[in-house]
Amino acid sequence: MKPKLIAHGGAWSIPEKFEKAHLRGLRRAVSEIYPQLLTSISALDAVEAAVKILEKDPTFDAGKGSFLNLNGEIELDAMIMDGSTLNFGSVVAVPNILHPVALSRLIMENTEHCLLAGTGALHFGKQMGMEEVDPHELLTSRELKFYEKIKNDPDFKTKSPFEPHPKGTVGAVAMDQNGNLAAATSTGGTPRKLPGRVGDSPIIGAGAYADNETGACSATGWGESIMRVLLCKTSSDLLKEYPAETAAKMSVQILEKRVNGWGGIILIDKQGHYGFAHNTSKMAFAYADEEGKAIARIKI
Ligand code: GLY
Q: Does residue 157 register a pLDDT over 80?
A: no
> What number is the average pLDDT over the span 66-94?
97
Q: Does residue 27 register a pLDDT over 70?
A: yes
Higher-confidence residue of 159 and 46: namely 46
Does ligand 1 lie within 6 Å of residue 264's CB atom?
no
115-117 and 87-94 as β-strands: parallel, antiparallel, unpaired? Answer: parallel
The per-residue DSSP string of 227-258 comes to HHTTHHHHHHHHTTTS-HHHHHHHHHHHHHHH
- Tell me which residues are annotated as active site: 169
> What number is the average pLDDT over the span 90-106?
98
Does ligand 1 lie within 6 Å of residue 169's CB atom?
yes
Q: How far is the CA of 185 from the centre of ligand 1 (A)?
A: 10
pLDDT at 156: 79
Q: Does residue 297 register a pLDDT over 50?
A: yes
> What number is the average pLDDT over the span 107-114?
98
> How confident is the model over 186-197, as pLDDT tens digits?
999 999 999 999
* Share of the chain residues as helix, strand and coil, in percent rounded to the nearest 5: 35, 25, 40
> How confident is the model over 3-12, as pLDDT tens digits?
999 999 999 8
Does ligand 1 lie within 6 Å of residue 61's CB atom?
no
pLDDT at 106: 98
Quick one: pLDDT band at residue 13, thresholds 50, 70, 90?
confident
Share of the chain above pLDDT 90, in %: 89
Does ligand 1 lie within 6 Å of residue 200's CB atom?
yes
pLDDT at 300: 74
Quick one: pLDDT band at residue 158, thresholds 50, 70, 90?
low
Q: Which atom from ligand 1 is nearest to the alpha carbon of 77?
A: 5
> What number is the average pLDDT over the span 151-161?
72
Residue 53, SS3? helix
Does ligand 1 lie within 6 Å of residue 221's CB atom?
yes
CA distance 273 to 266: 11
Q: Which atom from ligand 1 is nearest to the alpha carbon of 224?
A: 4
Q: How many CB atoms lie within 10 A of CB 33?
A: 26
pLDDT at 139: 94
Share of the chain above pLDDT 70, in %: 97
pLDDT at 167: 64
Mutate-to-test residue for ligand 1 from 60, 163, 187, 193, highest number of ligand atoms within 8 A of CB: 187
Q: How many CB atoms lie within 10 A of CB 260?
A: 12
> How confident is the model over 129-144, as pLDDT tens digits?
999 999 999 999 988 9
pLDDT at 162: 45
pLDDT at 159: 57
Residue 82, SS3? strand
CA distance 135 to 138: 6
Q: How far is the CA of 178 from the centre of ligand 1 (A)?
A: 31
| Residue 142: half-sphere exposure toward Cβ, Cα within 13 Å | 12
Q: How far is the CA of 100 from the centre of ligand 1 (A)?
A: 14
How many Å separate Cα 97 from the centre of its chain?
Answer: 16
Residue-range domains of the chain with CATH = 4-299 (3.60.20.30)
Does ligand 1 lie within 6 Å of residue 223's CB atom?
yes
Question: What's the mean per-residue pLDDT of the chain?
Answer: 94
> How confident is the model over 199-230, as pLDDT tens digits?
999 999 999 999 999 999 999 999 999 999 99
Q: How far is the CA of 113 from the centre of ligand 1 (A)?
A: 23
pLDDT at 239: 98
Q: Does residue 244 register a pLDDT over 60?
A: yes
Please tell me the pTM assigned to this model: 0.96
> What number is the average pLDDT over the span 22-34?
98
Does ligand 1 lie within 6 Å of residue 201's CB atom?
yes
